[in-house]
Structures are given as C-alpha cells and as structure tokens.
Structure 1
C-alpha cells in the first residue's frame, strides 16, 4: 500500500497491492488511512513505524 499526503494532513491511500492485507480489507485508492491496529496515523513516519518490523 502506498500513501499520498495532502495539505490538510490526510493520509490518502494511493495504491493497493493485489493480494495484500489492505486488498483483503477492501481498501481502495482514495481512501483515508486513519489508524493501524488502533494506533492513530498522523503522518507518514507513523505509518512507516507501524508497518515496520523494526523497533526503536
């Protein structure tokens, strides 16, 4: 899944890979990503951290 960020601080889904979890959840390009596993996604850094296998 790829995100595109707009000026009003919305995280817009730009692309969804076929067969991915996002695809199974019926997410589509243009949808707004608000949270992942009950964690608020405020910006692209939050998104990258939440989908990463690495921990700080």
Structure 2
C-alpha cells in the first residue's frame, strides 16, 4: 500500500513539473507573439493608408 502512495506522489509531482515547465515556456513566448502582432497590425494599417482614398474613411 505504501509503495502505491509513493508512486502516485511521484507521478503527480512529475506531471505538475512538466505542466509548469510547459506553462513557463508558453509564457516566455508571449512577448514576442504580441510584438509580432503589433508589427503586423501596424503594417496592415500602413497598407490601408496607401490606397489613395485620401484618408477620409468614407
């Protein structure tokens, strides 16, 4: 019985460790994703301004 408790504890600890490691990796990538999104949105807006409609928005 005690061996099952030890194995279960180790399995849960390992799963939590992997989950935290994966979450940290994802969170570390978010600033670069937001920066890329900002650059893409800025480029899209700049392209819309080059259509020659005078910028009236109508």
> What is the TM-score of this pair, normalised by structure 1?
0.22
Higher relative contact order (CA 8 A, sep 6+): 1
User: Higher strand proportion, which one?
Assistant: 1
- Structure showing greater Rg: 2
> What is the TM-score of this pair, normalised by structure 2?
0.21
